[in-house]
Amino acid sequence: MNFYVRKFIDFMTTLLLVTLVTFLTFQLLPGNPALAILGPDADQAQIEALELQLGLNQSLPLRYANWLKGAFCGNLGISYKYNQSVSSLIAGALKTTASLSLLSLVFTIAIGTFLGITFALNRKKKVWRCLSVLNQIWVSMPSFCTALILILIFTVGLKLLPSVGFDGPKSLILPSLAISLGSSSILARYIKTSMENELKQDYVRTAKSKGLNEKQVIVHHVLRNALLPSITTLGLITADIFGGSIIIENVFSLPGIGKLIIHSISSRDFPLLQGLTVYLAAMTLTCNFAVDILYSIIDPRTRSKK
């Protein structure tokens, strides 16, 4: 079977299992959804009418089949709290999260790659060794601490950037930096380690003996091999970023996926929380699928190993 077809089948199978587990989890939770929507003052006739409308009188397999059909058509049900389509709520929040995520990903790749390569090439210099240690410390710093530091510097001190709400691209700079500084530190560490391992390989000495200078060796040989192990890390970082940073979005009061998750949990809005769970799982699976495809393109040998 073709490598890409096999990967796509694995992706769809896993996604189907995720929807099944998610649906069963929320269906088996105690409580009556109709009563949660109508409130404690509703009479039995109103509850039964709403149960019929929501299909709660149907068998569990039939309810799952109907929900799955609706999910693939973009219908994830109606939110208890907002009385709106779950899909429309997620789509509205996704606009902010997607913009924030793309900017954060650009910062992460640019900063992480630059630092990783620089640390590896200057590993014997004391200044860069000290900066490498500081990078390790930055990895362990919680993202909300980074956010508060950035707010103190750029909002309170310099008064250059806003720190509350969403009012155009300028509002995304600080939160995207708060996300990307920690993520880029992780990526830089992996790239640095991979670069150091690759620079010790025999093919590097062979390339230099053929007359290639250090820049040519790094660009044409070392960098490609060193970046390959870091792709998996970047895939996990991307999934985490696009899942919506719950802490950062709430620190900066951004109306994104992270803030929607908090609201759905606090209000016990199970349809919305169920839809968000499926979205997060689908995003993680999509990123893993993209990593596998990217692996096979960069290194075709991986197609024959799987």
Q: Encode pLDDT of 276-290 as tens digits.
A: 888 888 888 888 888
What pLDDT was estimated at residue 61?
Answer: 86
Q: Are 261 and 224 in contact (CB under 8 A)?
A: no
Query: pTM value?
Result: 0.76
Helix, strand, coil shares of the chain, percent, nearest 5, are: 80, 0, 20
First to last CA, the chain: 11
pLDDT of residue 239: 77
What are the distances in angstroms from CA 205 to CA 37, 124, 125, 211, 223? 70, 19, 21, 10, 15
Describe the crossing of helices 173-199 and 223-242 by its angle, rounded to 10 degrees. 150
pLDDT recorded at residue 30: 67
Span 169-179, average pLDDT? 88
Q: Is 299 exposed, middle or buried (0-12, 13-18, 19+ CB in 10 A)?
A: middle
Ranges 30-34, 180-184, 228-232: which has the least confidence: 30-34
In sequence order, what DSSP letters do the residues of 10-58 get, joined into one string? HHHHHHHHHHHHHHHHHHSSSS-HHHHHH-TT--HHHHHHHHHHHTTTS
Average pLDDT over residues 155-178: 84
